[in-house]
Structure 1
């Protein structure tokens, strides 16, 4: 009787257990990390706590990351009372052909312009990195699709310090008509001080204390700020976790050199103790046109890190990313 092969098979099966009551798949390995999946989420778990979670509820459109954590500390906020459409770390257009895809209809959790999730394909690796393919379609409410997207997310395994990266490749294809991507105009464009936002946004947790925003040009800021608009290869936000100020962490967003309008203008919305928000603002200075059946590719890297990170280290990450 061949007992050893049977025991090996049982051991392998024990690594993948589907809990039909919870709807969660736990693929556990004898390690501090494991995966957790439901019908609308996928998360990396460390010692029972979420490191990061990707959310993709089709009823709410717009996939997003929340929570994002480093060494157990929260970096993101989901749907705060002041801006219920802010979702941790997420991508959303503002206007496409004058239809709003950013702000949401009160009480519905979706926008006038729908950013529909069609299919999500997740390929986790044994080293706890993962590749995610998301197929999306954009359309005004109740009307035909005007834009399709194939989104590829590459999420690295955390290193020994708990740092990890999320690489974004956003591949858009216009359908049967010219598309004009725009945003609320800035003061320079005859608009508003708060204008200029659209694209890959980050909303920080309220527990973040004394954040410092800095960019690849050596600029740094601790004061309240709305707008900004200067161009840079990357922007970082590093803050203390909580009032105790015993530890720090942050997030850096890198703009790829092949993106339109690179180096990107950057948008910041910060008020001490209330709002921590920034993004590469591709439409800050001018709209972007995409002709029918043409493609637009945007690439970004987000680096979630513990502690302070020197500019030279962030520049090295940028050099690797752009190549």
Structure 2
């Protein structure tokens, strides 16, 4: 598995050398893949099974990835019974000007604060990478738009081991009023142990066993945990999805150095046998203000991988992403 990670690292580093070489698959592997699309989904398929799928139903706001798979193993969960607003891998603010954009109104599939999908433009490439542009508008239900977002997603071709990356560029522009982004407060802010979440969230599949969370500081944890809040360049979750070695898979999220408050605090919500969730939590320690008619950009990379990946290789991937 370490050899696989090294080979994949070399593949990613080659992106810095030539865009024309980015993510190109061997001819023998190209024939295994195909695209599948509908009015509200776009997916990469291998041998009849979805590798990843972007969902963008305009009636339910908040575009999201589910399923995410590597080597046929499921990594994500969609709308679990305990938190029906959790959507695999997705981005959502918690509150803007005290309106909730995270939790959803029961039975409606949308929040009090709407993050409406206005337009989706998908440009797949022959090497089975893709560029996706999504325009969103944020507003309280029935009221005028307060925030616009141009979201650019770059999904790489899978390598020969099935590993791939999703790069997120989230470009926000406030409209006629100043905005205050906030979250449920943490214990340090007079709230609860579960406070601090907002942003790019990952909810793990129910089949995940014995996950290990670790970050760029060398910290690692496999015990039940809610909160955390320490700053790091990246966080990885690697887990077992079966008894065989190739059943070990993981996801790493990288926080770009250009982001506000980098390195990000990280939020974890994990209880063995019940739920696996983590995210870079930009609002963990304090709210974030954005004046009227101002712009803000957030950039993240998610790396979906098979097997264990050493810290030193993840640190190198972070440098590659930074550059």
Q: TM-score by structure 2 length?
A: 0.90
Residues 176-220 of structure 1: CA deviation (Å, up to 9, x unaligned): 000000000000011110000000000000100000000000000
TM-superposed deviation, 1:247: 1.9
Residues 83-139 of structure 1: CA deviation (Å, up to 9, x unaligned): 000000000000000000000000000000000000000000000000000000000
Task: Output the CA distance in 2 between the equivalents of 1:228 and 1:30.
Answer: 42
SS of match in other structure, 2:296: strand
Match of residue 254 from structure 2: 254
Aligned 1:124-203 pairs, distance under 5 A: 124-203=124-203
SS of match in other structure, 1:45: strand
SS of match in other structure, 2:59: helix
Task: Output the CA distance in 1 between the equivalents of 2:242 and 2:289.
Answer: 43
Aligned residues: 295
Structure 2: unaligned runs, 5 residues or longer:
1-28
Task: Output the CA distance in 2 between the equivalents of 1:173 and 1:205.
Answer: 34
Displacement over 4 Å in runs of 4+: 243-246
Task: Output the CA distance in 1 between the equivalents of 2:210 and 2:114.
Answer: 36
Task: Output the CA distance in 2 between the equivalents of 1:250 and 1:184.
Answer: 28
Higher radius of gyration, 1 or 2: 1
1:76 and 2:69 are equivalent in the alignment: no
TM-superposed deviation, 1:243: 6.1
1:85 and 2:88 are equivalent in the alignment: no
Match of residue 215 from structure 1: 215
Q: TM-score by structure 1 length?
A: 0.90
Match of residue 48 from structure 1: 48
Task: Output the CA distance in 2 between the equivalents of 1:258 and 1:289.
Answer: 17
TM-superposed deviation, 1:298: 0.1
* Equivalent pair of 1:209/1:245 in contact (CA under 8 Å): no
Between 55-64 and 245-254, the greater mean CA deviation after superposition: 245-254
* Equivalent pair of 1:209/1:243 in contact (CA under 8 Å): no
Match of residue 108 from structure 2: 108
Match of residue 266 from structure 1: 266
The 1:159–1:245 alpha-carbon spacing in structure 2 relative to 1, beyond 3 Å, is closer
Structure 1: unaligned runs, 5 residues or longer:
1-28
Task: Output the CA distance in 1 between the equivalents of 2:92 and 2:245.
Answer: 33
Match of residue 14 from structure 2: none
TM-superposed deviation, 1:30: 6.9
Q: Which has the higher contact order (CA 8 A, sep 6+)?
A: 2
TM-superposed deviation, 1:242: 3.5
* Equivalent pair of 1:169/1:298 in contact (CA under 8 Å): yes
SS of match in other structure, 1:266: strand
Task: Output the CA distance in 1 between the equivalents of 2:166 and 2:246.
Answer: 26
* Equivalent pair of 2:105/2:111 in contact (CA under 8 Å): yes
